[in-house]
Structure 1
Amino acid sequence: MKYPFLISIPHGGVEIPAEVAGRFALLEQEIDWYCDPATRTLFDFGGSVEATIDTPVSRMVIDLNRPPLPLPPRDPDGVIKVRTVDGRQVYLPGQLPDLPLIHRLMMKWYFPYHQRIDELIDRYPVEIAFDCHSMLPYGSAEQNDAGKPRPLICLGNYGDENGRAKPGSLATCPADWITRLGDAFREEFGGTGDVAINTPFSGGFISNAHYWRKGIPWIQIEVNRALYEPQDTPVHQREMTEEQIPALRNKIWSVLTRFWDGIAVEMSREDHQ
């Protein structure tokens, strides 16, 4: 049995294309750390879902979860990074990609990713999509929650803390769905940390844009990296604890399937009324 899920993993890649190699002010290990380490493994549910999309390229080269405009330097944390989330310069002086190079990167990595999402939704019986990420345990210097501890799990649908649409906007999935998914995470991870909705992250460009384009419900999932990274080493030297990843993936899968089984039962009842 395949679950009708689309799994999007836009920030798990660590590759640096040749076009930008040697331009970075950050070390290779630091570049990896500013991505979403382990998410390509953590959210790899194989043939148990209808569709999965990820990318090998580092988000520090091109961020697939940002709108295509504005370009740098107007948005330092946009599709092309100028600064990290804690204020460090990404590129060496004079090495920030120029417009022709940005265009090549966008044509090679950015637009194909978004086109592929639409193709997967059109081709397979997808009924819900999850945009899957990890987050640092504390807010970084240039983020709205700077210095504050983060929940164990953050779920986003562009709504309020209860998943309801904010005035003048749309939520990317029903409030009941995201709150029920939150309850399933709390049940699975009971006693180990909080599960929050739309705080500190309410969703990114991928879930918002493709909900508008296709109407398929989207939920952004952020998993706290404290669940799989040791916190007693210098931040740019941390590596994931390999043996924790399979167990954590199994717990996340248990949550997603239990949540959807409940939703599917209710939809079936409604169809027969």
Structure 2
Amino acid sequence: MIRIIEPKSPLVISVPHAGQRIPEEIEARLTIAGRSRIDTDWHVDRLAEGLEDLGAGLIVAECSRYVIDLNRPPDDQPLYSGPTTGLVPTETFSGAPLYLEGQVPGKAQIEARRAAYWRPYHEAIESQLARAQARFGHAVLLDLHSILSHVPRLFEGELPELNLGTNLGASCAAPLREALGRQLADSGFGHVVDGRFKGGYITRHYGQPSSGRHAIQLEIAQRCYLDESDPERWDPARAEPLRNWLASLVGFLMSWRPTRP
């Protein structure tokens, strides 16, 4: 349930939350809210289409985040203060229950999902980063996400259009963070660096600049590319400006080189 395209450059793109597949035995236990898949990173896989043709590696999960959240640590320790969702979510972002009464998964079921879905995705990230680094001397991971512009339970007000996360600069080299700030400034979209979304487990775990691995998260407010009242509908014309900028960003990340001591 993972689509993998090997990198032809130092860049690997991760798309962990655009999948919608939920096994029948799990979906039968979900509420209407759970079956709606409302917290999907809608169409981020489509936003990434064609970027592999530029030379980027690509890892796309097909399973829904309601099966397991691939951007959470395996021990399920919280990454942010305040309300959030866990490794195996039991609530939507708005706090609605995902499971019917008495159907919340227990420890054995969580471990089974971790082995079946979480571990293979992270093995794929590690494998593709190692491949890129072996060939080019360094690797860059771009973790792509999207979310509704307004989620009061998670953040106040309206989210900026582009939200770059570098774990406060710990997950990538300082010159890369600075250069990405300039890329955002030239994007034509509202933006912030290390605001509400500083990077989840994927960014924090794989971003090891001292070891030649640089990771960033891009959280996109969905109003940039779709009608948030009908998020399942793909509108290619509306998405085109964002897709063009993403192609520019990917070109920059593929050409960027760390300063050698």
If the TM-score is normalised by the length of the shorter chain, which range does it land in? 0.7 to 0.9
Shift of 1:182: 2.3
Query: How many angstroms apart in 1 are the aligned matches of 2:253 and 2:101?
Result: 49
Shift of 1:3: 3.4
**1:49 aligned residue:** 55
Matched, 1:254 2:225: no
Provide the TM-score with structure 1 as the length reference. 0.80
Q: Is the 8 A contact 1:12 1:35 kept in 2?
A: yes
Equivalent of residue 227 in structure 1, options 224, 228, 244:
224
User: Helix, strand or coil: the match of 1:3?
Assistant: coil
User: Helix, strand or coil: the match of 2:183?
Assistant: helix
Query: How many angstroms apart in 1 are the aligned matches of 2:116 and 2:18?
Result: 17
User: Helix, strand or coil: the match of 1:223?
Assistant: strand
List aligned pairs for 1:124-273, cutoff 5 A.
124=132, 125=135, 127-138=139-150, 140-143=151-154, 145-146=155-156, 148-159=157-168, 163=169, 171-189=170-188, 193-212=189-208, 215-231=212-228, 233=229, 239-258=233-252, 261=255, 263-264=256-257, 267=259
Query: How many angstroms apart in 2 are the aligned matches of 1:26 and 1:81?
Result: 15
CA 1:256–1:48 in 2, change beyond 3 Å: closer, same or farther?
closer
CA 1:121–1:16 in 2, change beyond 3 Å: closer, same or farther?
same
Shift of 1:244: 3.0
Q: Deviations over 1:179-233 (max 9, x none)?
A: 31121122132xxx421001110000011112259650101011110011214x3
CA 1:93–1:154 in 2, change beyond 3 Å: closer, same or farther?
same
**2:28 aligned residue:** 22
Query: How many angstroms apart in 2 are the aligned matches of 1:180 and 1:247?
Result: 21
Look up the equivalent residue of 1:34 and give its one-letter code: D
**1:6 aligned residue:** 12
**1:79 aligned residue:** 87
Equivalent of residue 39 in structure 1, options 44, 56, 80:
44
Query: How many angstroms apart in 1 are the aligned matches of 2:18 and 2:73?
Result: 18
Query: How many angstroms apart in 1 are the aligned matches of 2:128 and 2:254?
Result: 19
Query: How many angstroms apart in 2 are the aligned matches of 1:254 and 1:240?
Result: 21
Provide the TM-score with structure 2 as the length reference. 0.83
Shift of 1:100: 2.2
Query: How many angstroms apart in 2 are the aligned matches of 1:42 and 1:81?
Result: 25
Equivalent of residue 125 in structure 2, options 112, 117, 120:
117
**1:168 aligned residue:** none
What 5-or-longer segments of structure 2 have no aligned partner?
Answer: 1-6, 78-82
Shift of 1:14: 0.5
Q: Is the 8 A contact 2:139 2:212 kept in 1?
A: no
Query: How many angstroms apart in 2 are the aligned matches of 1:53 and 1:64?
Result: 12
Give RMSD over aligned pairs.
2.7
Q: Is the 8 A contact 2:34 2:66 kept in 1?
A: no
Q: Which has the higher contact order (CA 8 A, sep 6+)?
A: 2
Q: Is the 8 A contact 1:62 1:79 kept in 2?
A: yes
Q: Deviations over 1:56-99 (max 9, x none)?
A: 0000110000011238xxx9611110111111111111111122
Identical pairs, percent: 26
